[in-house]
Structure 1
Amino acid sequence: MPRQIYQVKMSLSGVRPPVWRRVLVPGGYTLDRLHRVVQHAMGWRDCHLHSFEIDGRQYGAPDPDGELALRDELDVRLDAVLGKGSRFQYVYDFGDWWEHDLVVEDVFAADPDDRYPTCLAGERSCPPEGIGGPPGHQVLLAALADPAHPEHRSMRDWVGDRYDPEVFDPGRAATLLRHLC
């Protein structure tokens, strides 16, 4: 049987305008590898805790202190817990609480000429780490859009001149996924 490929759309919850990505991921990937796909496709730096919630169960990296009741994401393959139409959540950074809604849009046989994972599409830049979650992101967008905003200069200095909230390059994300996952 050929490898199964999952087409997954991930959307950042509570963020307007929408920030989303569409990726193709092998069904044999563990949730740990899917975590890395989300990180690279979205543009996060993987410097905070994360978890998945699938059918009411929490998955993530095991907590050595035992405070978080998470099932080990290294032990769970996508094709064992998800199918076409499955909806689930991924939370990154328990302080800023970046919640991602994920949906398996399709499942199909791998094309032997294609490399996976890859990013097909998406819109807008990932919010910067440490901005304060969706509310902080809204303040950032308002400040950057209005040169008269009292925080315009400090926010621009903080994110740098190269940050553009409207820009996303799926080709760059696909290259990162091929090299880093």
Structure 2
Amino acid sequence: MVKTVGLPKPAANLLLLHIELKYIEPAIWRRVAVPENITLGRLHSVIQIAMGWEGGHLHEFEIAGENYGIPTPDGWGPPVNPEARKTLIKALSGRKTFRYVYDFGDGWDHRIKVEKVLPAIACPQVPYCIDGANACPPEDVGGAPGYEEFLEAIADPNHSEHEAMMEWHQDVFDPTAFDRERTNEWLKEIKV
């Protein structure tokens, strides 16, 4: 009998995910590689960084007919399965698409599709953002309709809400901006 003591466990394959924020035009999306055995809790962190969210709101995954998130101790909200230990590959149960909702008030609905399986060595780091387009909306802007109104107001100095929106956001906002290199620097913080 041959002993395999001391041999490292083979690295997990990567899943190439296409993450798109629904109901927004032009599309806000990211293409991210994650290990297939990433927990949903860690995947939440990857999505937050890749998309540009700040993480101050509740979230939930809907995968293969099951809901996953962080159960609230007081039982507020819909019941969810704990996300902390559930791996993405097990939750998928062979499915290729799933849903991630961030901020139940604004209702940022993301469609996530597994585009392909990659070998573990396919990316220079894991997780890794391969590509993307357009800036994440500001937090608490009011969902897709509020974001549309925000963009109209900041683009037109004569708009009745222009000054209020500029003061509320307190920074220049370019809806076409996306910095893949900076995103990957932030993704280095996530230990998978």
Deviation at 1:150, TM superposition (A): 1.1
Aligned to 2:185: 175
In 2, distance between residues paired with 1:179 and 1:109?
Answer: 22
What amino acid maps onto 2:64 in structure 1?
Answer: D
In 1, distance between residues paired with 2:98 and 2:45?
Answer: 16
What amino acid maps onto 1:127 in structure 2?
Answer: P
* Helix, strand or coil at the partner of 1:127: coil
TM-score, L = length of structure 2: 0.88
In 2, distance between residues paired with 1:110 and 1:173?
Answer: 20
Which residue of 59, 76, 81 corresponds with 1:71? 81
Q: Which has the higher helix share?
A: 1
Contact kept in structure 1, 2:17 and 2:115, CA below 8 Å: yes
Aligned to 2:128: 118
Answer with 1 or 2: which has the greater Rg.
Answer: 2
Deviation at 1:3, TM superposition (A): 1.7
Alignment of 1:51-62 (within 5 A): 51-62=60-71
Contact kept in structure 2, 1:39 and 1:46, CA below 8 Å: yes
Alignment of 1:41-52 (within 5 A): 41-52=50-61
* Residue 141, structure 1, aligned to residue 172, structure 2: no
* Helix, strand or coil at the partner of 1:28: coil
Alignment of 1:33-48 (within 5 A): 33-48=42-57
Segment of structure 1 superposing worse, 74-83 or 9-18: 74-83
Which residue of 14, 19, 24 corresponds with 1:10? 19
What amino acid maps onto 1:27 in structure 2?
Answer: E
In 2, distance between residues paired with 1:84 and 1:42?
Answer: 25
* Helix, strand or coil at the partner of 1:128: coil
In 1, distance between residues paired with 2:58 and 2:159?
Answer: 33
Contact kept in structure 2, 1:85 and 1:105, CA below 8 Å: no
Segment of structure 1 superposing worse, 101-110 or 143-152: 143-152
What amino acid maps onto 2:161 in structure 1?
Answer: E
Deviation at 1:75, TM superposition (A): 2.3
Contact kept in structure 1, 2:13 and 2:120, CA below 8 Å: yes
In 2, distance between residues paired with 1:137 and 1:65?
Answer: 32
Cα gap change, 1:24/1:112 in structure 2, threshold over 3 Å: closer, same or farther? Answer: closer
5+ residue gaps, structure 2, are 1-9
Identity %: 43
5+ residue gaps, structure 1, are none
Aligned to 2:38: 29
In 1, distance between residues paired with 2:174 and 2:53?
Answer: 15
Count the aligned residue pairs.
181
